[in-house]
Structure 1
Amino acid sequence: MNRTDRLYALVEELRAVAPRPRSARRLAEQFEVSTRTIERDLSALQQAGVPIWAEPGRTGGYCIDTSHTLAPLALTVDEALTVTIALGMLSTSPFHTAATSARRKVVAVMDQSTLHETAELASRIHLLDDGPVPDAPPELAGALRSGNVLRIAYRDRGGADTRRDVEPLGYVGKGRDWYLIGWCRLRDGIRAFRGDRVISADATGERAPRRSLRAEDLDIAYGTLRSVSTG
Protein backbone atom coordinates (compact mmCIF):
# COMPACT_ATOMS: atom_id res chain seq x y z
CA MET A 1 0.00 0.00 0.00
CA ASN A 2 1.49 3.37 -1.01
CA ARG A 3 1.30 6.43 1.23
CA THR A 4 -1.65 8.06 -0.54
CA ASP A 5 -3.73 4.88 -0.22
CA ARG A 6 -2.70 4.54 3.42
CA LEU A 7 -3.75 8.13 4.20
CA TYR A 8 -7.12 7.45 2.64
CA ALA A 9 -7.44 4.19 4.58
CA LEU A 10 -6.42 5.85 7.86
CA VAL A 11 -9.20 8.41 7.54
CA GLU A 12 -11.71 5.69 6.68
CA GLU A 13 -10.58 3.54 9.63
CA LEU A 14 -10.90 6.42 12.09
CA ARG A 15 -14.29 7.32 10.64
CA ALA A 16 -15.48 3.72 10.96
CA VAL A 17 -14.70 3.46 14.69
CA ALA A 18 -15.58 7.07 15.66
CA PRO A 19 -16.15 8.38 18.23
CA ARG A 20 -13.90 5.70 19.77
CA PRO A 21 -10.14 6.31 19.51
CA ARG A 22 -7.55 4.12 17.78
CA SER A 23 -4.00 3.92 19.13
CA ALA A 24 -1.02 4.53 16.86
CA ARG A 25 0.29 1.08 17.80
CA ARG A 26 -2.90 -0.66 16.70
CA LEU A 27 -3.02 1.35 13.45
CA ALA A 28 0.63 0.48 12.79
CA GLU A 29 -0.12 -3.23 13.21
CA GLN A 30 -3.16 -2.99 10.95
CA PHE A 31 -1.27 -1.23 8.14
CA GLU A 32 1.97 -3.14 8.69
CA VAL A 33 4.15 -0.07 9.17
CA SER A 34 5.97 1.44 12.12
CA THR A 35 4.27 3.53 14.80
CA ARG A 36 6.48 6.42 13.76
CA THR A 37 5.19 6.17 10.17
CA ILE A 38 1.57 6.24 11.41
CA GLU A 39 2.29 9.30 13.55
CA ARG A 40 3.87 11.08 10.55
CA ASP A 41 0.83 10.21 8.42
CA LEU A 42 -1.60 11.46 11.04
CA SER A 43 0.41 14.68 11.39
CA ALA A 44 0.23 15.21 7.61
CA LEU A 45 -3.54 14.72 7.69
CA GLN A 46 -3.88 17.21 10.56
CA GLN A 47 -1.80 19.78 8.65
CA ALA A 48 -4.06 19.22 5.64
CA GLY A 49 -7.05 20.24 7.74
CA VAL A 50 -8.50 16.83 8.64
CA PRO A 51 -9.96 17.18 12.19
CA ILE A 52 -7.96 14.48 13.96
CA TRP A 53 -6.93 14.82 17.59
CA ALA A 54 -5.24 12.67 20.25
CA GLU A 55 -7.13 11.41 23.30
CA PRO A 56 -4.73 11.02 26.27
CA GLY A 57 -4.75 8.16 28.74
CA ARG A 58 -4.35 4.38 28.82
CA THR A 59 -7.36 3.79 26.56
CA GLY A 60 -6.71 6.85 24.43
CA GLY A 61 -5.61 7.19 20.84
CA TYR A 62 -6.54 9.16 17.76
CA CYS A 63 -10.09 10.35 17.04
CA ILE A 64 -11.73 12.04 14.07
CA ASP A 65 -14.73 14.34 13.73
CA THR A 66 -16.81 12.47 11.13
CA SER A 67 -19.10 15.45 10.48
CA HIS A 68 -16.25 17.58 9.12
CA THR A 69 -14.08 15.20 7.15
CA LEU A 70 -13.37 14.31 3.58
CA ALA A 71 -11.06 11.56 2.46
CA PRO A 72 -7.61 12.75 1.32
CA LEU A 73 -7.15 13.25 -2.40
CA ALA A 74 -5.47 10.58 -4.48
CA LEU A 75 -4.17 12.62 -7.41
CA THR A 76 -2.33 11.45 -10.50
CA VAL A 77 0.75 13.43 -11.51
CA ASP A 78 -1.22 15.19 -14.26
CA GLU A 79 -3.99 16.09 -11.81
CA ALA A 80 -1.52 17.33 -9.19
CA LEU A 81 0.29 19.42 -11.80
CA THR A 82 -2.99 20.93 -12.99
CA VAL A 83 -3.98 21.85 -9.43
CA THR A 84 -0.54 23.39 -8.85
CA ILE A 85 -0.81 25.52 -12.00
CA ALA A 86 -4.37 26.61 -11.23
CA LEU A 87 -3.53 27.65 -7.67
CA GLY A 88 -0.39 29.42 -8.87
CA MET A 89 -2.50 31.48 -11.30
CA LEU A 90 -4.42 32.88 -8.32
CA SER A 91 -1.32 34.59 -6.91
CA THR A 92 -2.55 38.01 -8.10
CA SER A 93 -6.15 37.44 -7.03
CA PRO A 94 -7.93 38.28 -3.76
CA PHE A 95 -7.72 34.55 -3.03
CA HIS A 96 -3.91 34.25 -3.07
CA THR A 97 -3.64 33.51 0.67
CA ALA A 98 -6.24 30.74 0.49
CA ALA A 99 -4.61 29.40 -2.68
CA THR A 100 -1.23 29.14 -0.93
CA SER A 101 -2.84 27.34 2.00
CA ALA A 102 -4.71 24.97 -0.33
CA ARG A 103 -1.49 24.12 -2.16
CA ARG A 104 0.19 23.19 1.14
CA LYS A 105 -2.73 20.90 1.99
CA VAL A 106 -2.59 19.17 -1.38
CA VAL A 107 1.15 18.61 -0.97
CA ALA A 108 0.59 17.17 2.52
CA VAL A 109 -1.52 14.27 1.22
CA MET A 110 0.59 13.39 -1.83
CA ASP A 111 2.95 10.44 -1.79
CA GLN A 112 6.64 11.30 -2.20
CA SER A 113 6.96 9.82 -5.69
CA THR A 114 4.03 11.82 -7.07
CA LEU A 115 5.17 14.94 -5.24
CA HIS A 116 8.71 14.69 -6.61
CA GLU A 117 7.55 14.18 -10.21
CA THR A 118 4.98 16.99 -9.93
CA ALA A 119 7.56 19.40 -8.50
CA GLU A 120 10.01 18.57 -11.30
CA LEU A 121 7.40 19.20 -13.99
CA ALA A 122 6.10 22.36 -12.29
CA SER A 123 9.64 23.80 -12.31
CA ARG A 124 9.41 23.95 -16.13
CA ILE A 125 6.18 25.94 -16.19
CA HIS A 126 6.22 29.73 -15.87
CA LEU A 127 3.60 32.47 -15.87
CA LEU A 128 4.38 35.71 -17.68
CA ASP A 129 3.01 38.96 -16.28
CA ASP A 130 3.89 42.64 -16.12
CA GLY A 131 5.35 42.65 -12.64
CA PRO A 132 4.00 42.53 -9.10
CA VAL A 133 0.42 43.57 -8.36
CA PRO A 134 -0.33 45.43 -5.10
CA ASP A 135 -2.12 43.24 -2.61
CA ALA A 136 -5.87 43.78 -2.38
CA PRO A 137 -7.32 44.15 1.12
CA PRO A 138 -7.91 40.67 2.60
CA GLU A 139 -11.57 41.48 3.23
CA LEU A 140 -12.24 41.23 -0.51
CA ALA A 141 -11.58 37.48 -0.56
CA GLY A 142 -14.33 36.75 1.96
CA ALA A 143 -16.76 39.44 0.84
CA LEU A 144 -19.06 37.16 -1.13
CA ARG A 145 -19.07 34.40 1.48
CA SER A 146 -19.75 36.71 4.43
CA GLY A 147 -22.50 38.63 2.62
CA ASN A 148 -21.62 41.81 4.53
CA VAL A 149 -21.82 45.27 3.00
CA LEU A 150 -18.28 46.57 2.50
CA ARG A 151 -17.19 50.15 3.05
CA ILE A 152 -14.33 50.68 0.62
CA ALA A 153 -11.93 53.44 -0.29
CA TYR A 154 -11.47 53.23 -4.06
CA ARG A 155 -9.11 54.98 -6.48
CA ASP A 156 -10.40 55.14 -10.05
CA ARG A 157 -8.29 55.11 -13.20
CA GLY A 158 -8.04 58.90 -13.10
CA GLY A 159 -6.58 58.86 -9.58
CA ALA A 160 -9.70 60.20 -7.83
CA ASP A 161 -10.50 58.65 -4.44
CA THR A 162 -14.02 57.93 -3.23
CA ARG A 163 -15.58 56.09 -0.31
CA ARG A 164 -18.45 53.78 -1.08
CA ASP A 165 -20.70 51.21 0.53
CA VAL A 166 -20.80 48.15 -1.71
CA GLU A 167 -23.02 45.06 -1.62
CA PRO A 168 -20.81 42.18 -2.94
CA LEU A 169 -22.36 40.23 -5.82
CA GLY A 170 -19.48 38.32 -7.42
CA TYR A 171 -16.00 38.40 -8.94
CA VAL A 172 -14.59 38.61 -12.45
CA GLY A 173 -11.01 37.67 -13.26
CA LYS A 174 -9.24 38.91 -16.41
CA GLY A 175 -5.60 37.96 -16.73
CA ARG A 176 -3.88 39.07 -13.56
CA ASP A 177 -6.60 41.62 -12.74
CA TRP A 178 -9.49 40.71 -10.46
CA TYR A 179 -12.65 42.72 -9.96
CA LEU A 180 -15.19 42.74 -7.16
CA ILE A 181 -18.64 43.10 -8.69
CA GLY A 182 -21.09 44.82 -6.37
CA TRP A 183 -24.06 47.07 -6.02
CA CYS A 184 -22.57 50.51 -5.38
CA ARG A 185 -24.80 52.59 -3.13
CA LEU A 186 -22.96 55.75 -4.12
CA ARG A 187 -23.76 55.23 -7.82
CA ASP A 188 -26.99 53.26 -7.19
CA GLY A 189 -26.03 50.56 -9.63
CA ILE A 190 -23.77 47.59 -10.37
CA ARG A 191 -20.08 48.47 -10.59
CA ALA A 192 -16.78 46.59 -10.97
CA PHE A 193 -13.95 47.45 -8.55
CA ARG A 194 -10.45 46.37 -9.54
CA GLY A 195 -8.75 44.76 -6.59
CA ASP A 196 -5.47 46.68 -6.77
CA ARG A 197 -7.40 49.99 -6.75
CA VAL A 198 -9.23 49.19 -3.53
CA ILE A 199 -7.23 51.08 -0.92
CA SER A 200 -9.12 49.70 2.06
CA ALA A 201 -12.19 47.59 2.74
CA ASP A 202 -14.07 47.14 5.99
CA ALA A 203 -17.08 44.98 6.72
CA THR A 204 -19.90 47.12 8.11
CA GLY A 205 -21.63 44.20 9.80
CA GLU A 206 -24.77 44.89 7.78
CA ARG A 207 -26.09 41.94 5.81
CA ALA A 208 -26.50 42.90 2.17
CA PRO A 209 -29.96 42.38 0.66
CA ARG A 210 -30.12 39.52 -1.80
CA ARG A 211 -29.77 40.70 -5.41
CA SER A 212 -29.54 38.70 -8.61
CA LEU A 213 -26.55 39.10 -10.92
CA ARG A 214 -26.82 38.27 -14.62
CA ALA A 215 -24.02 38.35 -17.18
CA GLU A 216 -25.82 41.05 -19.15
CA ASP A 217 -25.88 43.27 -16.04
CA LEU A 218 -22.09 43.58 -16.25
CA ASP A 219 -22.18 45.34 -19.64
CA ILE A 220 -18.85 43.85 -20.75
CA ALA A 221 -17.82 45.34 -24.07
CA TYR A 222 -15.32 42.65 -25.03
CA GLY A 223 -14.38 39.13 -24.05
CA THR A 224 -16.57 36.21 -23.03
CA LEU A 225 -17.54 35.41 -19.48
CA ARG A 226 -16.81 31.85 -18.41
CA SER A 227 -18.35 30.54 -15.22
CA VAL A 228 -16.27 28.70 -12.63
CA SER A 229 -18.15 25.60 -11.52
CA THR A 230 -17.46 22.74 -9.12
CA GLY A 231 -19.56 20.41 -11.22
Structure 2
Amino acid sequence: MNRTARLYALVEELRAAAPRPLTVARLAARFEVATRTVQRDLQALMAAGLPVRSATGRGGGWSIDPRTTLPPVRFTAQEAAALTVALAATDRGAPYAAAARTAAQKLAAVLPADAAATARDLARRIVALPAAPVPPGAAAHRAAVEHALATGTVLRLHYADAAGRSSERLVEPAGLLTAGGHWYLIAWCRTRRAGRGFRLDRITGADPTPEPAGPHDLAALLRGSAAAGARPPAALGALDVLDGH
Protein backbone atom coordinates (compact mmCIF):
# COMPACT_ATOMS: atom_id res chain seq x y z
CA MET A 1 0.00 0.00 0.00
CA ASN A 2 1.48 3.37 -1.02
CA ARG A 3 1.47 6.33 1.36
CA THR A 4 -1.47 8.14 -0.23
CA ALA A 5 -3.68 5.04 0.02
CA ARG A 6 -2.52 4.50 3.60
CA LEU A 7 -3.41 8.08 4.58
CA TYR A 8 -6.93 7.59 3.26
CA ALA A 9 -7.17 4.24 5.02
CA LEU A 10 -5.93 5.73 8.31
CA VAL A 11 -8.69 8.33 8.26
CA GLU A 12 -11.30 5.66 7.54
CA GLU A 13 -9.93 3.43 10.32
CA LEU A 14 -10.15 6.28 12.82
CA ARG A 15 -13.66 7.21 11.63
CA ALA A 16 -14.85 3.62 12.04
CA ALA A 17 -13.53 3.43 15.62
CA ALA A 18 -14.72 6.91 16.70
CA PRO A 19 -15.09 8.10 19.37
CA ARG A 20 -12.82 5.36 20.72
CA PRO A 21 -9.10 6.20 20.23
CA LEU A 22 -6.71 3.78 18.55
CA THR A 23 -3.08 3.35 19.58
CA VAL A 24 -0.19 3.82 17.19
CA ALA A 25 0.83 0.21 17.82
CA ARG A 26 -2.58 -1.07 16.77
CA LEU A 27 -2.61 1.08 13.64
CA ALA A 28 0.91 -0.05 12.76
CA ALA A 29 -0.12 -3.69 13.07
CA ARG A 30 -3.24 -3.05 11.01
CA PHE A 31 -1.27 -1.57 8.10
CA GLU A 32 1.85 -3.71 8.60
CA VAL A 33 4.24 -0.77 8.91
CA ALA A 34 6.52 0.57 11.62
CA THR A 35 5.05 2.63 14.45
CA ARG A 36 7.32 5.51 13.39
CA THR A 37 5.71 5.44 9.93
CA VAL A 38 2.20 5.62 11.42
CA GLN A 39 3.27 8.45 13.71
CA ARG A 40 4.56 10.44 10.72
CA ASP A 41 1.35 9.75 8.77
CA LEU A 42 -0.85 10.92 11.64
CA GLN A 43 1.18 14.09 12.04
CA ALA A 44 0.85 14.71 8.28
CA LEU A 45 -2.92 14.41 8.57
CA MET A 46 -2.91 16.93 11.42
CA ALA A 47 -0.72 19.31 9.41
CA ALA A 48 -3.19 19.02 6.53
CA GLY A 49 -5.93 20.33 8.82
CA LEU A 50 -7.86 17.13 9.51
CA PRO A 51 -9.38 16.97 13.01
CA VAL A 52 -7.07 14.17 14.14
CA ARG A 53 -6.25 14.31 17.84
CA SER A 54 -4.03 12.39 20.23
CA ALA A 55 -4.58 11.75 23.93
CA THR A 56 -1.91 10.49 26.31
CA GLY A 57 -2.21 8.25 29.32
CA ARG A 58 -4.20 5.12 30.01
CA GLY A 59 -6.84 4.57 27.36
CA GLY A 60 -5.26 7.19 25.13
CA GLY A 61 -4.45 7.06 21.46
CA TRP A 62 -5.46 8.76 18.22
CA SER A 63 -9.01 9.66 17.23
CA ILE A 64 -11.00 11.76 14.77
CA ASP A 65 -14.38 13.48 14.99
CA PRO A 66 -16.46 11.86 12.21
CA ARG A 67 -18.97 14.73 12.33
CA THR A 68 -16.36 17.15 10.99
CA THR A 69 -14.91 14.97 8.24
CA LEU A 70 -16.09 13.22 5.09
CA PRO A 71 -15.38 9.64 4.13
CA PRO A 72 -12.39 9.23 1.79
CA VAL A 73 -13.12 10.03 -1.85
CA ARG A 74 -11.08 8.34 -4.54
CA PHE A 75 -9.92 10.85 -7.16
CA THR A 76 -7.84 10.08 -10.20
CA ALA A 77 -4.46 11.82 -10.26
CA GLN A 78 -5.75 14.28 -12.86
CA GLU A 79 -8.94 15.03 -10.87
CA ALA A 80 -7.00 15.63 -7.67
CA ALA A 81 -4.54 17.91 -9.45
CA ALA A 82 -7.32 19.87 -11.16
CA LEU A 83 -9.21 20.31 -7.89
CA THR A 84 -6.10 21.48 -6.07
CA VAL A 85 -5.31 24.11 -8.69
CA ALA A 86 -8.94 25.29 -9.02
CA LEU A 87 -9.33 25.69 -5.27
CA ALA A 88 -5.99 27.42 -4.83
CA ALA A 89 -6.80 29.83 -7.67
CA THR A 90 -10.03 31.04 -6.05
CA ASP A 91 -10.02 34.83 -5.85
CA ARG A 92 -9.58 36.19 -2.33
CA GLY A 93 -12.76 38.23 -2.66
CA ALA A 94 -14.95 35.31 -3.70
CA PRO A 95 -17.40 33.67 -1.28
CA TYR A 96 -15.96 30.68 0.57
CA ALA A 97 -12.44 31.65 -0.55
CA ALA A 98 -10.93 30.84 2.85
CA ALA A 99 -12.48 27.37 2.86
CA ALA A 100 -11.28 26.83 -0.73
CA ARG A 101 -7.69 27.64 0.24
CA THR A 102 -7.65 25.27 3.23
CA ALA A 103 -9.25 22.54 1.08
CA ALA A 104 -6.48 23.04 -1.50
CA GLN A 105 -3.85 22.71 1.23
CA LYS A 106 -5.39 19.46 2.45
CA LEU A 107 -5.47 18.02 -1.05
CA ALA A 108 -1.91 19.11 -1.76
CA ALA A 109 -0.70 17.43 1.43
CA VAL A 110 -1.87 13.99 0.29
CA LEU A 111 -1.34 14.14 -3.48
CA PRO A 112 0.68 11.25 -4.93
CA ALA A 113 3.85 12.24 -6.76
CA ASP A 114 2.32 12.12 -10.27
CA ALA A 115 -0.70 14.21 -9.25
CA ALA A 116 1.53 16.70 -7.45
CA ALA A 117 3.63 17.09 -10.58
CA THR A 118 0.50 17.62 -12.68
CA ALA A 119 -0.77 20.23 -10.21
CA ARG A 120 2.52 22.12 -10.30
CA ASP A 121 2.52 22.09 -14.10
CA LEU A 122 -1.07 23.35 -14.24
CA ALA A 123 -0.35 26.05 -11.68
CA ARG A 124 2.53 27.39 -13.80
CA ARG A 125 0.08 27.85 -16.70
CA ILE A 126 -2.46 29.97 -14.77
CA VAL A 127 -1.93 33.71 -14.30
CA ALA A 128 -4.09 36.55 -13.00
CA LEU A 129 -3.82 40.30 -12.91
CA PRO A 130 -3.42 41.64 -9.36
CA ALA A 131 -6.79 42.01 -7.66
CA ALA A 132 -7.92 45.19 -5.97
CA PRO A 133 -6.93 45.40 -2.31
CA VAL A 134 -9.39 43.68 0.00
CA PRO A 135 -11.09 46.27 2.27
CA PRO A 136 -10.37 45.99 6.02
CA GLY A 137 -12.76 43.58 7.70
CA ALA A 138 -13.94 42.16 4.36
CA ALA A 139 -13.11 38.58 5.33
CA ALA A 140 -15.22 38.81 8.50
CA HIS A 141 -18.12 40.39 6.60
CA ARG A 142 -17.94 37.69 3.93
CA ALA A 143 -17.88 34.97 6.62
CA ALA A 144 -21.06 36.42 8.14
CA VAL A 145 -22.74 36.36 4.71
CA GLU A 146 -21.65 32.75 4.16
CA HIS A 147 -22.99 31.78 7.60
CA ALA A 148 -26.36 33.45 6.99
CA LEU A 149 -26.73 31.70 3.63
CA ALA A 150 -25.81 28.31 5.07
CA THR A 151 -28.07 28.62 8.13
CA GLY A 152 -30.97 30.52 6.55
CA THR A 153 -30.87 33.36 9.05
CA VAL A 154 -31.45 37.11 8.88
CA LEU A 155 -28.40 39.33 8.43
CA ARG A 156 -27.91 42.94 9.54
CA LEU A 157 -25.93 44.72 6.83
CA HIS A 158 -24.08 48.02 6.80
CA TYR A 159 -23.75 48.95 3.14
CA ALA A 160 -22.25 51.72 1.01
CA ASP A 161 -23.78 52.14 -2.44
CA ALA A 162 -21.98 53.24 -5.63
CA ALA A 163 -22.33 56.90 -4.60
CA GLY A 164 -20.84 56.22 -1.18
CA ARG A 165 -24.14 56.60 0.72
CA SER A 166 -24.28 54.37 3.80
CA SER A 167 -27.31 52.51 5.08
CA GLU A 168 -28.22 49.77 7.50
CA ARG A 169 -30.51 46.95 6.35
CA LEU A 170 -32.04 43.78 7.71
CA VAL A 171 -31.94 41.26 4.87
CA GLU A 172 -33.00 37.69 4.25
CA PRO A 173 -30.30 36.06 2.07
CA ALA A 174 -31.45 34.10 -0.97
CA GLY A 175 -28.25 33.44 -2.93
CA LEU A 176 -25.13 34.74 -4.63
CA LEU A 177 -24.61 36.25 -8.07
CA THR A 178 -21.32 36.78 -9.88
CA ALA A 179 -21.22 39.36 -12.68
CA GLY A 180 -18.61 41.68 -14.17
CA GLY A 181 -15.87 40.44 -11.88
CA HIS A 182 -17.88 41.13 -8.72
CA TRP A 183 -19.91 39.04 -6.30
CA TYR A 184 -23.34 40.08 -5.03
CA LEU A 185 -25.52 38.89 -2.19
CA ILE A 186 -29.10 38.63 -3.46
CA ALA A 187 -31.55 39.03 -0.62
CA TRP A 188 -35.00 40.20 0.41
CA CYS A 189 -34.45 43.62 1.94
CA ARG A 190 -36.87 44.27 4.78
CA THR A 191 -36.11 47.98 4.65
CA ARG A 192 -37.06 48.32 0.96
CA ARG A 193 -39.54 45.42 1.06
CA ALA A 194 -38.11 44.10 -2.19
CA GLY A 195 -35.33 41.96 -3.60
CA ARG A 196 -31.96 43.68 -3.69
CA GLY A 197 -28.37 42.91 -4.69
CA PHE A 198 -25.51 43.91 -2.40
CA ARG A 199 -21.98 43.92 -3.82
CA LEU A 200 -19.82 42.04 -1.34
CA ASP A 201 -16.93 44.50 -1.47
CA ARG A 202 -19.31 47.35 -0.54
CA ILE A 203 -20.55 45.65 2.61
CA THR A 204 -18.93 47.58 5.47
CA GLY A 205 -20.46 45.52 8.27
CA ALA A 206 -22.36 42.27 8.58
CA ASP A 207 -23.82 41.02 11.84
CA PRO A 208 -25.49 37.61 12.02
CA THR A 209 -28.76 37.23 13.91
CA PRO A 210 -30.45 34.08 15.24
CA GLU A 211 -33.74 34.95 13.50
CA PRO A 212 -34.75 32.51 10.75
CA ALA A 213 -35.10 34.06 7.30
CA GLY A 214 -38.14 33.42 5.15
CA PRO A 215 -37.87 31.24 2.04
CA HIS A 216 -37.13 33.26 -1.10
CA ASP A 217 -36.77 32.08 -4.67
CA LEU A 218 -33.54 33.46 -6.15
CA ALA A 219 -34.92 33.63 -9.71
CA ALA A 220 -38.02 35.50 -8.48
CA LEU A 221 -35.90 38.11 -6.70
CA LEU A 222 -33.86 38.66 -9.87
CA ARG A 223 -36.92 38.94 -12.10
CA GLY A 224 -37.17 42.37 -13.73
CA SER A 225 -33.54 43.23 -12.94
CA ALA A 226 -30.50 43.38 -15.22
CA ALA A 227 -29.55 39.95 -13.86
CA ALA A 228 -32.87 38.28 -14.69
CA GLY A 229 -31.16 35.97 -17.18
CA ALA A 230 -28.60 34.64 -14.66
CA ARG A 231 -28.27 30.87 -14.59
CA PRO A 232 -26.24 28.48 -12.41
CA PRO A 233 -22.74 27.85 -13.83
CA ALA A 234 -22.60 24.66 -15.89
CA ALA A 235 -20.00 23.16 -13.54
CA LEU A 236 -22.56 23.16 -10.71
CA GLY A 237 -24.89 20.93 -12.68
CA ALA A 238 -22.98 17.92 -11.36
CA LEU A 239 -24.36 18.69 -7.91
CA ASP A 240 -27.90 17.89 -9.09
CA VAL A 241 -27.15 14.24 -8.29
CA LEU A 242 -27.41 15.17 -4.60
CA ASP A 243 -31.13 15.78 -5.18
CA GLY A 244 -31.49 12.61 -7.18
CA HIS A 245 -31.94 14.52 -10.48
> Could you say which residue in structure 2 is the equivalent of 1:190?
195
> Could you say which residue in structure 2 is the equivalent of 1:96?
97
> Could you say which residue in structure 1 is the equivalent of 2:57?
57
**Residue aligned with 2:119, SS:** helix
Which consecutive unaligned segments of at least 5 residues does structure 2 have?
none
> Could you say which residue in structure 1 is the equivalent of 2:181?
176
Q: Are positions 1:158 and 2:167 aligned together?
A: no
Q: Are positions 1:118 and 2:119 aligned together?
A: yes
User: Of 220, 232, 235, which residue of structure 2 is paired with 1:226?
Assistant: 232
**Residue aligned with 2:172, SS:** strand
In 2, distance between residues paired with 1:19 and 1:60? 11
CA contact (8 A) 1:181 1:191 kept: yes
CA contact (8 A) 2:18 2:65 kept: yes
Q: CA shift at 1:52, angstroms?
A: 3.0
**Alignment: residue pair count:** 230
Q: CA-atom RMSD, angstroms? A: 2.7
> Could you say which residue in structure 2 is the equivalent of 1:217?
221
Q: Which amino acid aligns with 1:8?
A: Y
Relative to structure 2, which stretch is displaced further, 168-177 or 76-85? Answer: 76-85
**Identity %, equivalent residues:** 45
In 2, distance between residues paired with 1:126 and 1:96? 17
Q: CA shift at 1:117, angstroms?
A: 3.1
In 2, distance between residues paired with 1:103 and 1:205? 31
**Residue aligned with 2:173, SS:** strand
TM normalised by structure 1 equals 0.83
> Could you say which residue in structure 2 is the equivalent of 1:148?
153
> Could you say which residue in structure 2 is the equivalent of 1:83?
83
CA contact (8 A) 1:73 1:109 kept: no
| Distance of aligned partners of 1:191 and 1:118 in 2 relative to their CA distance in 1, 3 Å threshold | same
